[in-house]
C-alpha cells in the first residue's frame, strides 16, 4: 500500500513509519504539507497519489488552543475536513487521529465509541468537530481516538512524561504527579501496530485505540520508575494543584470496543510503558 503520512515527524508519525515499514510511505515535512494551505498540500497529494492518506498532524497544545480557539478549529476541524474532502474526491482512503479529550470525564468506566462526547476544552471541541466533519461524509475513513501518547520520537524538546519522571528521579529531584486523573496512556509503537491492523480490515468508522486499562497518572509514573529499575518516591498531588488554562477530563480512559469486534487487541498500559522503557533504553 502507498501511504501519504501527514505529521510524519511527530511521535505517532515516526512510530507509524517504523511499524508500517512494509508499506511505501511518503512523509512530507510540515513545511511541504502545511494543513493551513490546501493549494500547497493538494499538489503534493496529486503528485504522490497514495492509496491511503494518514493524518497525524494536529494543533494539540491544549492550553494554547484554549486561548486560540479559531486556530484550533482551523487546524483540527476545517483542515481535517479539507483533507477528507480531497481524499474522497480522489478515491483515497483516509485515517485521522482524535482524542480522549472529546469526553467530559464524568464516566466511571472506560468510554466506548458509543458514549456521547461532551468536550470541556477548546481543543476537545475542535477535535470533535474534525471527527464529525469526516464522519458526515460517509466515506472510506477511519477516525481513531487515542489518549496520552508517548513515543520514542517525542517532538517536544523536553521528551515524554515517562522520560521526565525517570530523569527527575535519577537527578534526585522532587516528582509531583496527579493521582486523581485517570486515563489510558498509550505507547505510540503499540498504537501504530493496531492502526496497521485496522487499515487492513477496510472496516471504516470511529474507533478507540489505547493501551488497555484505566490508570492514574500517579500509578503510571510509579510503574515507569519500576520498569526502569529506579526506586524513588513520588508526591501525589490533586489536579486542582496543577494550574492550567484549559480544563481537562478527570477520567478519560478509553475502551477499544470497536477494535475488539475486529479481533484487534492492544497490550495493557503497563506493558506499554515497559516496552517503551526497553525500546528507548531508559
Ligand atoms: N500526544 C498525545 O498525548 C495525544 C493524545 C491524544 C490524541 N493525540 C492526537 O494524536 C495525533 C498525533 O499526536 P503526536 O503526539 O504524534 O503529535 P506531535 O508529536 O506533536 O506531532 C505532530 C506532527 O504534526 C505536524 N504538524 C503540526 N501542525 C501542523 C500543520 N499545521 N500542518 C502540517 N503539519 C503539522 C508536526 O510537524 P512539526 O513538528 O514540524 O510542526 C508533527 O510532525 C494528533 O492528532 C493528536 O491530536 C495525541
pLDDT tens digits, residue range 199-236?
Answer: 999 999 999 999 999 999 999 999 999 999 999 999 99
Reported as a pLDDT band with limits 50, 70 and 90, residue 154 is: confident
For cell 481513531, what's the residue?
144
pLDDT digits (tens, 9 = 90+) for 111-146: 999 999 999 999 999 999 999 999 999 999 999 999
Q: Which of 258, 186, 257 is nearest to 215 (CA)?
A: 186
Residue 119 near residue 127 (C-beta atoms within 8 A): yes
Which residue has the least CA distance to atom 18 on ligand 1? 10
> Measured in angstroms, how far is the CA atom of residue 39 from the centroid of ligand 1?
21
Domain boundaries, the chain: 2-154+184-212+253-267
Dist CA 55 CA 48 (whole Å): 15
Residue 241: predicted pLDDT: 87
When the pLDDT of each residue in the chain is averaged and rounded to a whole number, the result is: 97
Residue 72 near residue 124 (C-beta atoms within 8 A): no
Other beta carbons within 10 Å of 11: 23
Grid cell in block for residue 30: 510540515
At the second CATH level, the architecture of 2-154+184-212+253-267 is 3-Layer(aba) Sandwich (3.40)
From the DSSP assignment, how many helices (H) and strands (E) are in the chain? Answer: 11, 12
Residue 23 near residue 4 (C-beta atoms within 8 A): no
| Residues with C-beta less than 6 Å from any ligand 1 atom | 7-13, 30, 33-36, 56-60, 75, 97, 99, 146-149, 155
Dist CA 161 CA 216 (whole Å): 13
Residue 128 near residue 102 (C-beta atoms within 8 A): yes
pLDDT digits (tens, 9 = 90+) for 97-114: 999 999 999 999 999 999
Residue 157: predicted pLDDT: 64
The atom of ligand 1 lying closest to the CA of 6 is: 34
> Measured in angstroms, how far is the CA atom of residue 231 from the centroid of ligand 1?
33
Q: Which of 122, 221, 124 is nearest to 163 (CA)?
A: 221
Task: Please count the CA atoms within 13 angstroms of the CA of 132 that sit on its side-chain side.
Answer: 11
Residue numbers annotated as active site: 123
Q: What is the DSSP letter of 78?
A: I
Reported as a pLDDT band with limits 50, 70 and 90, residue 155 is: low
Amino acid at each position: 500500500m502507498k501511504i501519504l503520512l501527514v505529521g510524519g515527524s511527530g511521535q505517532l508519525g515516526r512510530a507509524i513509519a517504523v511499524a508500517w515499514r512494509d508499506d511505501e510511505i511518503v512523509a512530507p515535512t510540515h513545511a511541504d504539507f502545511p494543513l493551513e494551505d490546501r493549494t500547497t498540500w493538494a499538489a503534493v497529494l496529486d503528485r504522490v497519489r497514495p492509496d491511503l492518506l494518514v493524518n497525524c498532524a494536529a494543533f494539540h497544545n491544549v492550553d494554547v488552543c484554549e486561548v486560540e480557539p479559531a486556530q484550533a478549529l482551523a487546524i483540527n476541524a476545517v483542515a481535517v475536513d479539507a483533507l477528507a474532502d480531497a481524499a474522497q474526491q480522489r478515491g483515497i482512503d483516509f485515517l485521522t487521529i482524535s482524542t480522549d479529550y472529546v469526553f467530559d470525564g464524568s464516566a466511571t468506566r472506560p468510554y466506548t465509541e458509543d458514549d456521547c462526547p461532551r468536550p470541556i476544552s477548546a481543543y476537545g471541541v475542535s477535535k470533535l468537530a474534525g471527527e464529525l466533519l469526516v464522519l458526515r461524509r460517509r466515506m472510506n475513513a477511519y477516525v481513531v481516538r487515542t489518549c496520552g501518547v508517548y513515543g520514542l520520537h517525542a517532538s517536544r524538546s523536553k521528551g515524554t512524561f515517562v522520560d521526565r519522571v525517570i530523569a527527575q528521579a535519577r537527578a534526585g529531584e522532587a516528582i509531583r504527579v496527579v493521582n486523581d486523573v485517570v486515563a489510558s496512556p498509550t505507547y505510540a509503537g503499540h498504537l501504530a501496530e493496531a492502526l496497521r491492523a485496522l487499515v487492513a480490515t477496510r472496516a471504516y468508522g470511529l474507533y478507540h485505540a489505547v493501551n488497555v486499562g484505566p490508570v492514574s497518572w500517579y500509578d503510571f509514573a510509579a510503574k515507569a520508575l519500576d520498569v526502569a529499575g529506579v526506586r524513588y518516591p513520588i508526591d501525589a498531588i490533586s489536579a486542582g494543584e496543577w494550574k492550567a488554562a484549559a480544563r481537562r477530563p478527570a477520567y478519560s480512559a478509553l475502551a477499544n470496543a470497536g477494535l475488539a469486534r475486529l479481533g484487534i487487541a492492544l497490550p495493557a498500559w503497563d506493558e506499554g510503558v515497559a516496552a517503551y522503557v526497553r525500546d528507548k533504553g531508559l
